[in-house]
């Protein structure tokens, strides 16, 4: 069992670095804007399907990833506009957009799944040796995640980032100090889903194929990673808030590999992950309720 877990560590480490983009995408609307968003479940496969379609059509990998980010950004904007102008709850708006994206993905690829040859990917463009070993992939992915983290921290400290955080802290006060809450909410949703789409584009190039169902259940995994990361390092500063999803993703996927190495059936993982998220989110409320009852007594 121990040896099986050790053997899985590098594989799940690479996987966790890729899926940390999803955890970051969940963090932006959920923590920064105080608005839950389910569009990630659609924007992640959208990025992957767009990348696969244009790579096989002859576009270079860098442009394909830029196109994937743009597609995710538009998906996030769509959710924000539906939420704001049609007065639909952000959760429902995200579900609607993610559902429609499934049909878009089929149109984009022309089929449910599409393979991508290794020589077409960004990994091969940097060095053909990268896809031959897991540790070179981990090094490259860690560098990319590090750049994104540094970029997000710098963004949150910029004027636009401060305005975005202000909208999340108090949307009603924002217009009084000259901040367009609708605009910054739209930007936040677009940024989040652009990150998710980037993750989808990277995973397609790493695994060599795209599938319209590749985003199924990804939202719960990302939420679990975010919660674990915040439990480990907290979110008292901008740096901690941005790094928490990365740490959480690494720990979460190592826990998954530990469960698999002990004989846990893969079909049970979604059930256990959902139960974990439910308990983690509900426990503070239950504790608060018991404290109130004790105080009243």
Q: Which residues contact 254 (CB under 8 A, 6 or more apart)?
A: 9, 12, 13, 16
HEC sequence for 68-101: HHHHHHHHHHHHHHHHHHCCCCHHHHHHHHHHHH
Q: Any idea where the domains of the chain sit in the sequence? A: 2-214
pLDDT given at position 176: 84
pLDDT given at position 41: 94
pLDDT given at position 283: 65
The parts of the chain modelled with pLDDT lower than 50 are none
**Residues 43, 222 contacting (CB under 8 angstroms):** no
Residue 209, SS3 per DSSP: strand
**Residues 190, 80 contacting (CB under 8 angstroms):** yes
Q: Quick check: pTM over 0.85?
A: yes
**Model confidence over 184-239: pLDDT tens digits?**
999 999 999 999 999 999 999 999 999 999 988 898 889 899 998 998 899 999 99
Q: Could you write out the DSSP letters of every residue in 116-148?
A: --GGGSHHHHH-TTGGG-HHHHHHHHHHHHHHH
Q: Which residues pair with 211 in a beta bridge?
A: 113
The number of residues in the chain equals 297
Chain mean position to CA 69: 12
């Amino acid at each position: 069992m121990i040896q099986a877990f050790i053997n899985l560590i590098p594989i799940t480490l690479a996987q966790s670095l890729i899926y940390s983009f999803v955890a970051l995408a969940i963090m932006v609307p959920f923590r920064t804007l105080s608005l839950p968003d389910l569009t990630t479940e659609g924007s992640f496969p959208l990025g992957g399907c767009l990348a696969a379609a244009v790579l096989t059509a002859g576009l270079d990998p860098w442009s394909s990833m830029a196109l994937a980010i743009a597609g995710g950004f538009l998906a996030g904007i769509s959710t924000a506009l539906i939420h704001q102008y049609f007065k639909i709850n952000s959760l429902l708006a995200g579900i609607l957009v993610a559902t429609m994206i499934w049909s878009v993905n089929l149109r984009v690829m022309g089929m449910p799944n599409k393979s991508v040859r290794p020589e077409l990917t960004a990994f091969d463009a940097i060095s053909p040796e990268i896809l031959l070993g897991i540790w070179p992939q981990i090094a490259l992915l860690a560098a990319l995640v590090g750049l994104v983290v540094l970029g997000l921290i710098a963004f949150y400290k910029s004027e636009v980032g401060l305005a975005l955080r202000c909208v999340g802290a108090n949307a009603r006060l924002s217009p009084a100090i000259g901040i367009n809450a609708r605009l910054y909410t739209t930007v936040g949703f677009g940024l989040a889903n652009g990150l998710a789409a980037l993750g989808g584009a990277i995973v397609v190039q790493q695994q060599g194929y795209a599938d319209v169902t590749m985003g199924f259940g990804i939202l719960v995994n990302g939420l679990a990673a975010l919660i674990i990361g915040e439990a480990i390092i907290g979110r008292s500063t901008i740096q901690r808030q941005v790094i928490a999803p990365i740490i959480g993703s690494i720990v979460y996927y190592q826990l998954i590999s530990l469960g698999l190495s002990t004989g846990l059936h893969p079909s049970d993982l979604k059930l256990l992950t959902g139960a974990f998220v439910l308990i983690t989110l509900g426990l503070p409320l239950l504790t608060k309720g018991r404290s109130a009852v004790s105080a009243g007594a």
